[in-house]
């Protein structure tokens, strides 16, 4: 009888171990799925424009909002310093930056042309197809005009 109890005990322990392994496998698959969902909803894109130093970096995130959010900073391309007197144009709408070169705007889903501007720097344009619930984090790196003559001709 003792021998049977030991076999039953071993069998019971094996069932518990097997159940725990199944639970752990389920948790592992759930975590892998969650990581995949996060990775697919957080996409990054880079666009190089206006020569070597002017560029835009975009990071896209998902939210539950009905609108889209566009936010970010405008920076000097060679130093990375924030441009304090700058603004972003979204279509014909001007969004001024704060004293740290930061901007923020809510948009309805749709297609937009963004243009980063700062006095004495080349403008930088970016086309955006905004989707519902997405947050777009931009870093616009502007390069200064080469000389004052070029600046006067454009403005």
pLDDT of residue 41: 42
Domain ranges in the chain?
A: 1-41, 42-154
pLDDT category at 34 given cuts 50, 70, 90 is very low
**Residue among 147, 152, 143, 149 at smallest CA distance from 51:** 143
The DSSP output letter for 41 is: H
Q: How far apart are CA 15 and CA 11, in angstroms?
A: 6
Per-residue pLDDT at 132 = 87
88 CB-near residues (< 8 Å, 6+ apart): 70, 74, 94, 95, 97, 103, 105, 114, 115, 116, 117, 138, 140
Report pLDDT for 89. Answer: 94
pLDDT band at 115 (very low <50, low <70, confident <90, very high): very high
Residues paired with residue 24 on neighbouring β-strands, in sequence order: none
Taking only the tens place, the pLDDT of each residue in 11-26 is 666 677 767 666 666 5
What does the mean pLDDT of the chain come to?
74
**Token pair belonging to 79:** 């130093």
pLDDT at 53: 47
Long-range contact list for 80-88, CB < 8 A, 24+ apart? 80/141, 83/118, 83/121, 83/142, 85/118, 85/119, 86/116, 86/117, 86/118, 86/119, 86/121, 86/142, 87/116, 87/117, 87/118, 88/114, 88/115, 88/116, 88/117, 88/138, 88/140
pLDDT single digits (tens) 40-71 = 444 444 444 444 445 667 777 777 778 889 99
Cα angle: 65, vertex 127, 58; to 5 degrees: 65
CATH of 42-154, one of 2.30.30.140, 2.60.260.20, 2.60.40.1120, 2.60.120.380: 2.60.40.1120
Q: Distance (Å, rounded) from C-alpha 111 to C-alpha 12?
A: 62
**36 has a pLDDT exceeding 60:** no
Q: Cβ distance 110 to 116 under 8 Å?
A: no
């Amino acid at each position: 009888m003792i021998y049977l109890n030991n076999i039953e005990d071993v069998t019971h322990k094996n069932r518990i171990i097997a159940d725990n392994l199944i639970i752990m496998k389920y948790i592992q698959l759930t975590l892998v799925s969650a990581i995949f969902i996060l990775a697919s909803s957080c996409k990054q894109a880079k666009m190089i424009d206006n020569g070597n130093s002017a560029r835009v970096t975009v990071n896209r995130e998902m939210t539950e909002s009905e609108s889209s959010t566009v936010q970010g900073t405008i920076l000097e391309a060679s130093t990375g310093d924030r441009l304090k007197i700058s603004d972003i144009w979204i279509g014909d709408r001007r969004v001024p930056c704060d004293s740290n070169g930061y901007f923020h705007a809510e948009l309805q889903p749709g297609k937009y042309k963004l243009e980063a501007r700062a006095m004495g720097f080349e403008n930088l344009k970016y086309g955006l197809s905004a989707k519902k619930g997405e947050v777009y984090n931009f870093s616009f790196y502007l390069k200064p005009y080469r000389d004052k003559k070029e600046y006067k001709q454009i403005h």
